[in-house]
Chains A and B, each alone.
Chain A
Amino acid sequence: MAELRNVIVFSLGAARYAVEIRWVREVVSLGFVTAVPTAPPSLGGVVNLHGVILPVLDVSALLGQPPGPPARQGDGALVVEAEGVTCALRVDQVDHVASLHEDAGAVVDASGRPLTLLDPINLVRRALELVGGAGKAELAP
């Protein structure tokens, strides 16, 4: 039974996710979220974080599920950095920082409840693909 140390557990809709803390730069409460009209649903808008333009990603949409509600000012978010991209993942609630166990391929928390462990590299790659697709559609004659 492998152990995963230091993950942040958060909930989004009915689902619970975990992401290793080493990817997380900051846990923030979002400022004003500016909508980006031509972006795919996975990109829920942009915010100003310490003077830098930061995209807000919708984890559900990135995982191929129906996108969650639009990101709004005051929502919680994890600022993650992967693949040279810094972005904010909108969350409903940050639960806690914990150590997890991997049990027969499934990740469970201390009380044995299942969680989805997110890989920020894959999330960012997927986000780039989706946005790239939207950009390509824009450029196509």
Chain B
Amino acid sequence: MSDALDLDFDPDELVMLRQLFATEAHEALEVVTMRVLAGGTARPSPDALTEMMRVTHTLKGAAGTVGLSSMVDLSHRLESALEAIGQSADRWGSHSADQLVEIVDGLRVYLDELVADRPGTNVAADALRARIDLITRGAPSEPEERPSFESMMIPTIVEAGEPDDPPRHGDDTGGHELIDGTAASEPKTWLRVEPERIDALMSSAGELLFDRTRIERRVQLLRTLARDLARTRQSLRDAIGDGSMPATSQRGALSAAEAELAGQAALLSQTTAALLDEIEALRRTIGELQRGLTRIRMESARNLMSHAARTLRALRRATGIQVELRTVGEDTEFDKAVAEQLVDPITQLLRNAVAHGVESAAERLARGKSAHATITIRARQDGNLLVLDVADDGRGVDTSALRERFVATGRWSAARAQLASDDDILGALLGTGVSVRGVADELAGRGVGLDLVRETVARLGGEVRVTSAPGRGTTFSLRLPLSTSLAQAMLFKVGGQVYAIPNVHVVDTTLVEAGAHTTPVRHEQLPVLRLETVLGHGATGDRRPGVVVSFAGKGLVCTVDKIVGPREIIIKPLGPLLAPLTLYAAATISGSGKVQLILDPAQLVRRAYPDAPEAAADAVSAPLVLAGRALVVDDSRAIREAMTSMLGREGWIVDVAEDGGRALQMTRQLRYDLVVTDLEMPELGGFDLIARLRTEDRFKQTPIIIITSRASPEHRRRAKDLGVRALVAKPITRRKLLEALAAR
């Protein structure tokens, strides 16, 4: 860490505590930002200042506890600056709000750098310190360039319900002030959880969906078999009935068998039907689980909107265009993961509105509009959709000019342009490379911005609609699914199409020699599955990239045309018509709206190990299970937690022990399929624990992994003697863990 310290925490614990601190600090700083933004360019009220000073003070104390002395200093200075603003009105200039917001933004960046222990933070701290002190000292903060319009500047956030505002209709959420003034919020107790933990649960829930699909397919197969059986029985019966059967004695025996078969077929068919009902119940439960988890991750549109307010503020300063932001529906909740992805599109749409949508003040006045333009961001829920509108009250899109432009640039034929409706034209605006203005400028131009908007929204499973009224404005509606199942996946190309494999089952990428049936991956030879053949394309004789897949303890390498890379994808179900095709687990939608199929690792394993029916059976019936019950032994709580979460993601049930002695007690009661242990611990150390375990029959063969900060050759030799599967150097990462699990 950058700060010198002498604290009572061990390093692991400190990392965890600092992460907790970072979460708290971000919340505190967000409060300051919101209070400043709520006042527009006006000096914050005494109450608001008190609130800001209080959170800054708390921040100072917490920073001290975790030994971040530079943060203590900076928050102390910020507190003083706020105090100075409160004491003397001349500390506040027209630029002060912007400066404060920028300082706080800077502090947040600095905080992340500090906690992540990145180099060069001292310089950032010095710069921040200087800026804060400038406010405290009351140094002239008057602006760089454009004093003329600053004086006419209107506050960024306008209360939608202001008396002189016309009444609004059509939005059920009603208009709200972006930030609820200075009113203290109700005290509530909150549970703080690292987002990664929720993500891990989400990912497990996502896996459940895949598991369910696998089971469902098996049961569908059973159902077909039941039908086949019934048909066979019918043929048997017909054969007996038509009298061609010679001996009466034989006929009697056959009839009895036929009757029995009939009973069995009926039972099989009933059981299958019951199973399908139960799978349906499972599907509902998984759905509830996912919705519940998504709700945990929900956040209100508030953060997104305060980000938009900041963006617009910056745009206004850069262009001098008078434009204000109105926000509606800040309480609309949506998935945090989705909210994060929407920041860039919203920024782009704002840039777009300012660059293209909004007229100059003179032009507006000439058209009988108010001199300042308004951009409205409205969030609302519409059935299963989250709708986010970004609307300006500018000139609207000139569809006839666009039509001409499409023809001039050769994008459309004259005939097509003529046939196209205005809606077609507006829709095409979202396509590639169209800019409404003749000349691209630095703000928004070249039409690439709208591409980004469309792509991001498509990747989230939604769509963008554009409506425009000439002279009255343009509205971009982002329509997104309310809940999305996001997952990490490895994407690659085969036969010109992009496919994906869930990342939890992807260990690595490699190169496979031409014609090879196996290929070395680390210490073992893995079978090669030629995906181009599996997917119906001709085999090629070249050396090809390979994706190393591990599933149910079996590894294989899939050859592909080209590796695209890991991506966060949304998971879309395939529906009943595609579900019987076992090779595919689900599908996703690319940024350009194309469907991409997700391959099922269980099926890939089956194909790569055709000679091992029991392996195949394992692979299908026991999906996530490399896994079993694991024991993690470490005296650091942070490490125990981290390992529990990492192994949990891989499907393991995890027990923990804080030292070797406790671990030994636990192994007497339960059998473990994996032991992960630290070396240096009070009571009984790692090597002693392993030596004792190896004396017992039950643990002679058990895979053991050592995690340690000292991986000397001597340690490695001892580990090898004790039959330890892998020795992993701290800090432990998921990749290292997967490698250790895959090691033989």
A contact set with B: CB distance below 8 Å:
31-32, 34-39, 43, 46-48, 50-55, 57, 84-87, 124, 127-128, 131-132, 134-136, 138-139, 141
Contact = CB atoms under 8 A, between A and B. Distances in A.
Interface of B: 217-218, 220-221, 224, 461-463, 481, 495, 497, 534-537, 572-584, 587, 589, 592-597, 603, 613, 616
A54 B224 CA distance: 24
A38 B578 contact: no
A46 B221 CA distance: 23
B271 to A, nearest CB: 19
Contacts of B537: 37
A32 B615 CA distance: 38
Given A39-B581, A46-B595, A135 B572 contact: no
Contacts of B217: 135, 139
A87 B574 CA distance: 11
29 contacts: A31-B593, A32-B593, A37-B534, A37-B535, A37-B583, A38-B536, A39-B581, A46-B574, A48-B593, A48-B594, A51-B463, A51-B572, A52-B572, A53-B572, A53-B573, A53-B587, A85-B575, A124-B577, A128-B576, A131-B578, A134-B580, A135-B217, A135-B580, A135-B581, A135-B582, A136-B224, A138-B583, A139-B218, A139-B221
B581 A38 contact: yes
Contacts of B603: 138
Most-contacted residue by chain B among A50, A51, A57 (CB, 10 A)? A51
A133 B52 CA distance: 67
B593 A132 contact: no
Contacts of A52: 572
Nearest to A141: B613
B581 A55 contact: no
Given A32-B593, A37-B537, 7 more contacts: A34-B595, A53-B575, A128-B576, A131-B580, A131-B581, A134-B581, A141-B613
Contacts of A132: 220, 224, 580
Most-contacted residue by chain A among B495, B577, B579, B603 (CB, 10 A)? B577
Contact of A131 (B463, B534, B577): B577
Given A32-B594, A47-B595, A53 B574 contact: yes
A127 B573 CA distance: 18
Contacts of A136: 221, 224, 580
Given A48-B589, A51-B589, A139-B582, A34 B577 contact: no
A138 to B, nearest CB: 5
B487 to A, nearest CB: 15
B497 A53 contact: no
A141 B594 CA distance: 33
Contacts of B574: 46, 53
A110 to B, nearest CB: 28
Contacts of A35: 497
B616 A84 contact: no
Contacts of B582: 135, 138-139
A55 B497 contact: no
Contact of A55 (B535, B575, B592, B596): B575
A127 B220 CA distance: 15
A87 to B, nearest CB: 6
A124 B625 CA distance: 36
A46 B587 contact: yes
B577 A127 contact: yes
Contacts of B583: 37-38, 138
B576 A51 contact: no
B597 A34 contact: yes
A55 B578 contact: yes
A138 B579 CA distance: 12
A124 B594 CA distance: 24
A36 B597 CA distance: 8
A30 B221 CA distance: 32
B616 A85 contact: no
Contacts of B497: 34-35
A141 B616 CA distance: 9
Contact of A34 (B224, B576, B594, B613): B594
Interface pairs A-B: 8 shortest CB-CB: A135-B580, A34-B595, A37-B536, A37-B535, A32-B594, A55-B577, A51-B461, A132-B580
A141 B462 CA distance: 40
Nearest to B580: A135
A52 to B, nearest CB: 7
B101 to A, nearest CB: 36
A23 B217 CA distance: 28
A50 B536 contact: no
Nearest to A131: B580
B239 to A, nearest CB: 26
Contacts of A131: 577-578, 580-581
A52 B463 CA distance: 11
A62 to B, nearest CB: 12
Nearest to A57: B577
Contacts of A34: 497, 587, 594-597
Contacts of B578: 36, 39, 43, 46, 53, 55, 131
Given A37-B536, A48-B589, A139-B217, A53 B580 contact: no
Nearest to A55: B577
Contacts of A124: 577
Contacts of B577: 43, 55, 57, 85, 87, 124, 127-128, 131
Contacts of A47: 595
Contacts of B589: 48, 51, 53
Nearest to A51: B461
Given A38-B581, A136-B224, A32 B592 contact: yes
A57 B616 CA distance: 32
Contacts of A87: 577
A87 B577 CA distance: 8
B582 to A, nearest CB: 5
